[in-house]
Structure 1
């Protein structure tokens, strides 16, 4: 253990440099103008694994973004481990919200320790770096056969991932799949992600008029669309704040304590706001449905005229519990809206996108190896089996494509990473533990055969 820890520390400076070089590439997959940067990012990732003696290729399917597949053979009879991460990143949005340039990695203090700040510094180029660090520790003496799969369109929904998995099934087949795109429970407390909620996004429009009319002449008789939509939105939750859409599934959550002060600090909730819903906090965050209004089309207050608004539109973002399906959730939501639209208004709905929920059977030799590795890397602290309220739909694709494999969901993030937001940051001390944990995991998997 002391030898492996020393070897991890010896490779970290080079890994840090490689991570910073990757971060400087603006591989925003959602921006068509930066498609060349996404390609450049894939080429940079390929070069990193070329240098480690991997057989590499850049691949794509159905016109999707470039991904990297790399392969290196371990000892005869050793298991094959697929290591996943993604090299594309979220848009950086308003640069004014950042304390340093979003694509220039900058180290500075945070309330929880030293961090490296930049878009992609954690999500998920640090996942690539963690894989690379563990592999460099072993060099040409890998304890297992390793296949790398570094995707290029995770941040835009992995639309062509099923085609990639089908086209390269033989090259990607593995005994164990390690997906480094999640996080840990807290600074100093590792985790294995074992459940993720699914996602349904739907645009909803109500129309009460063919055109706008004078509010003084027609108000009191004709309902305006904003008021009508507001009443419809209000039916989506009961008085306690639970989702009131019949037919959705909910499941129990692990018995994990989430202290009130931590909930307040990490959520950014104002001091007097009350939590919504019933059940434990982790059930409400991980294993029960949730529904939010994430967008609303309406006239601005400044300049609003005295007219009845003829049509109004909102976007519903609904997270569905592990064990439910998007097909069921869409049907339940559609049925609820049709039953509750008031005053005979015309209702129109459009499904924007969906992503299936995931529940992982976190038992077996691979999970035993992972838990032992995490506890060793975190100096005796056992990993938490953690749920995630957000959605990573591609994990369900891996489970479907490779049912014989053990799928481990790990990651480099922590509660203050701020992935997808301004000032995304990688906790540097935790990153070292992540690299050590993956090194120990590969060792354990090789020893167990």
Structure 2
């Protein structure tokens, strides 16, 4: 399906969609009309980006990430509002000298007449597609089914990219139609390696500190409560991940001759990992903390449906469901390197490696949580097994201060665009680089928004974007920008 057909297909569906009307003020209505008029083009632009398999992982062709950066830069140039649009790269932190990150796009427009500057962030790289047999549509062929657009990156986070572009187009169109000067400052930073660790992010901020400096930072990489209710994300768990290698033998030994007396690495690994959780499945590592905050109602039946639990499988943990997801630590084993069943022989395995991923509750530094987990593993290593840690990644959690004028303005824009008050929600996932934004730009107000919903399936097969949510997200941002351009805080 080419982009023209995609746009036509959506126009048919658009006539059946109902969205909340914005506030009954003339400027709001003008913005709403501009967003609606430009929406088929936004869907088509998103389809064009989805076709580019911009997977940033090392095993994939990096030329597609570069192609994606070129396409994003052209979209931003096409708005006609920026002083500069550049594709830039930065040195990866902790990597050999000269090893650069994937290309990012940086567009800037200076503020006029004392108006604030808004930094808009999203990322154009995507996760690997996984087994294409698990997809109902081709992962890199954008396909509209019902009110959803399917494809890898359709939501996470190429929709975030296009929501920025479409909101800026609507702002520029309405300002031009009214004969008004566009005075709000704009900086757009579209990263190219968020899905693989943002290794050059810190250096990119330092290299481009002046160009990125802003009063408000909007990170469009989160989700919404449901397809009818917006979120302002106010809490994010931090992250820590590393490879753990467990060794017990100098080499593989015959399991018949030595099994039952010589400890194999798989036995040691399984016993060690089992110490990480209690009988309820809650994390049982001394030194990890939780955050105490109220959560909206969300029962275990909703969890079972949203997380796709198999019938008969019970949830884990204690406390309210959302406190488990937003405010408590979690530990997951996300991968294991050991002989496959196809290559299994009757030997004791001398060594096994697992990838451990930990989510860190808001309020605790990820480095402190990492140290607590490493101490626990070392203290509980069975049979004197030798432990090695490698490929360590950390990112701090984040709590949003919603008392500032920018948060108030964003919530009002959401209310007007969606027709419902936003939920102030936490997110179980992590956006580790936000802590870097806080460090480099301590005076900026940070807003975490997004275009996803509970059925998006980001990172999974059959990732999709609800087109009604997409339209309302664009309108929200366009209203916010227009009001800041008019001088309203």
Shift of 1:81: 0.7
The answer on 1:438 being equivalent to 2:477 is yes
Shift of 1:15: 1.3
> Which of 425, 442, 447 is the equivalent residue of 2:464?
425
The aligned residue for residue 8 of structure 2 is none
The aligned residue for residue 32 of structure 2 is 5
The aligned residue for residue 101 of structure 1 is 138
The answer on 1:298 being equivalent to 2:338 is yes
The aligned residue for residue 74 of structure 2 is 47
Unaligned runs of 5+ residues in structure 2 are: 1-27, 92-99, 176-181
Please say which of residues 189-198 and 338-347 is displaced more in the overlay: 338-347
Contact in 2 for aligned 1:143/1:442 (Cα 8 Å): no
The answer on 1:121 being equivalent to 2:159 is no
Please say which of residues 301-310 and 98-107 is displaced more in the overlay: 301-310
The aligned residue for residue 379 of structure 2 is 339
Contact in 1 for aligned 2:116/2:215 (Cα 8 Å): yes
Mapped to 1, the partners of 2:170 and 2:34 lie a distance apart of 6
Q: SS at 1:335's partner residue?
A: helix
Mapped to 1, the partners of 2:55 and 2:391 lie a distance apart of 24
Mapped to 2, the partners of 1:268 and 1:143 lie a distance apart of 47
Please say which of residues 303-312 and 385-394 is displaced more in the overlay: 303-312
| Alpha-carbon displacement from aligned partner over 1:14-40 (angstroms, at most 9, x marks no partner) | 111211112222211114652222112
The aligned residue for residue 404 of structure 2 is 364
The aligned residue for residue 310 of structure 1 is 350
> Which of 256, 276, 281 is the equivalent residue of 2:321?
281
Q: SS at 1:83's partner residue?
A: strand
The aligned residue for residue 383 of structure 1 is 422
Structure 1 vs Structure 2 CA RMSD: 1.7
Structure 2 CA distance for partners of 1:103 and 1:303, relative to 1, 3 Å: closer
Q: SS at 2:276's partner residue?
A: coil
Please say which of residues 65-74 and 317-326 is displaced more in the overlay: 65-74
The aligned residue for residue 246 of structure 2 is 206
The answer on 1:216 being equivalent to 2:260 is no
The aligned residue for residue 237 of structure 1 is 277
Mapped to 2, the partners of 1:43 and 1:32 lie a distance apart of 21
Structure 2 CA distance for partners of 1:337 and 1:33, relative to 1, 3 Å: closer
Mapped to 2, the partners of 1:195 and 1:16 lie a distance apart of 30
| Alpha-carbon displacement from aligned partner over 1:390-423 (angstroms, at most 9, x marks no partner) | 1111111111111111000001001111111111
The aligned residue for residue 5 of structure 2 is none
Mapped to 2, the partners of 1:168 and 1:229 lie a distance apart of 44
The aligned residue for residue 91 of structure 1 is 128
The answer on 1:353 being equivalent to 2:390 is no
Shift of 1:155: 1.2
Contact in 1 for aligned 2:300/2:315 (Cα 8 Å): no
Mapped to 2, the partners of 1:215 and 1:19 lie a distance apart of 55
> Which of 449, 455, 466 is the equivalent residue of 1:416?
455
> Which of 329, 336, 339 is the equivalent residue of 2:369?
329
The aligned residue for residue 199 of structure 2 is 159
Mapped to 2, the partners of 1:14 and 1:207 lie a distance apart of 56
Contact in 2 for aligned 1:200/1:351 (Cα 8 Å): no
Structure 2 CA distance for partners of 1:217 and 1:37, relative to 1, 3 Å: closer
> Which of 255, 264, 268 is the equivalent residue of 2:304?
264
Q: TM-score, normalised by structure 2?
A: 0.87
Q: TM-score, normalised by structure 1?
A: 0.94
| Alpha-carbon displacement from aligned partner over 1:79-132 (angstroms, at most 9, x marks no partner) | 1111111111111122222222211111012xxxx1011111111111111111
